[in-house]
Amino acid sequence: MIPLNATHDPALRSWVESANLPGHDFPLQNLPFGVFRRAGSTEPFRGGVAIGDSVLDLGALQPLAPFGGRAAEALTLCAQPVLNELMAAGPEASGSLRMALSGALRSGSPLEARLRPLLIPQSASEYRVAARVGDFTDFYASIHHATAVGRLFRPDNPLLPNYKWVPIAYHGRASSVRVSGGSFARPHGQLMPPGAARPELAATRRLDYELEVGMFIGASNTLGSPVPLAEAESHIFGLCLLNDWSARDVQAWEYQPLGPFLAKNFATTVSPWVVTLEALAPFRVPWTRPAGEPPPLAYLDDAAQRRTGGIDIRLEAALDTVRMRAQGIAAQRLSQSSFGDSWWTIAQMVTHHTVNGCNLEPGDLLGSGTQSGPAPSAAGSLLELTAGGREPLTLGDGERRTFLEDGDRVILRGWCERPPYVRIGFGEAAATVLPAVRP
Reported as a single tens digit per residue, the pLDDT across 118-173 is 999 999 999 999 999 999 999 999 999 999 999 998 888 899 999 999 999 999 99
Question: Can you give the pLDDT at residue 277?
Answer: 98
The count of other CB atoms within 10 Å of the CB of residue 95 is: 20
Q: Which amino acid is at 195?
A: G
Question: Can you give the pLDDT at residue 242?
Answer: 98
pTM of the model: 0.97
For 222-279, the DSSP string reads: -TT----GGGGGGGEEEEEEEEE-EEHHHHHHH-TTT--STTTTT-EEE-S-BEETTT
Question: Can you give the pLDDT at residue 212?
Answer: 98
φ, ψ for residue 163, nearest 5 deg: -60, -45
By annotation, the residues acting in catalysis are 145
Ranking 95-109, 147-161, 231-245, 389-403 by mean pLDDT, the lowest is: 147-161
Secondary structure class of 348 (helix, strand, coil): helix
The third-level CATH classification (topology) of the domain covering 6-127 is SH3 type barrels. (2.30.30)
- 36: Cβ–Cβ under 8 A, 6 or more apart, which residues? 45, 46, 48, 55, 120, 125, 126, 127, 128, 272
Put residue 216 in one of left, alpha, beta given phi > 0 → left and psi -120 to 50 → alpha.
beta
- The continuous run of DSSP H or E covering 147 comes out as helix 143-153
Question: Can you give the pLDDT at residue 439?
Answer: 82
What would the pLDDT profile of 261-285 be if each residue is shown by its tens digit? 999 999 999 999 999 999 999 999 9
Put residue 342 in one of left, alpha, beta given phi > 0 → left and psi -120 to 50 → alpha.
beta
Q: Cβ(320)–Cβ(376) under 8 Å?
A: no
What would the pLDDT profile of 30-75 be if each residue is shown by its tens digit? 999 999 999 999 999 999 999 999 999 999 999 999 999 999 999 9
Q: Where are the domains of the chain?
A: 6-127, 136-434
The third-level CATH classification (topology) of the domain covering 136-434 is Fumarylacetoacetate hydrolase; domain 2 (3.90.850)
Question: Can you give the pLDDT at residue 5?
Answer: 96
Q: Cβ(306)–Cβ(348) under 8 Å?
A: no
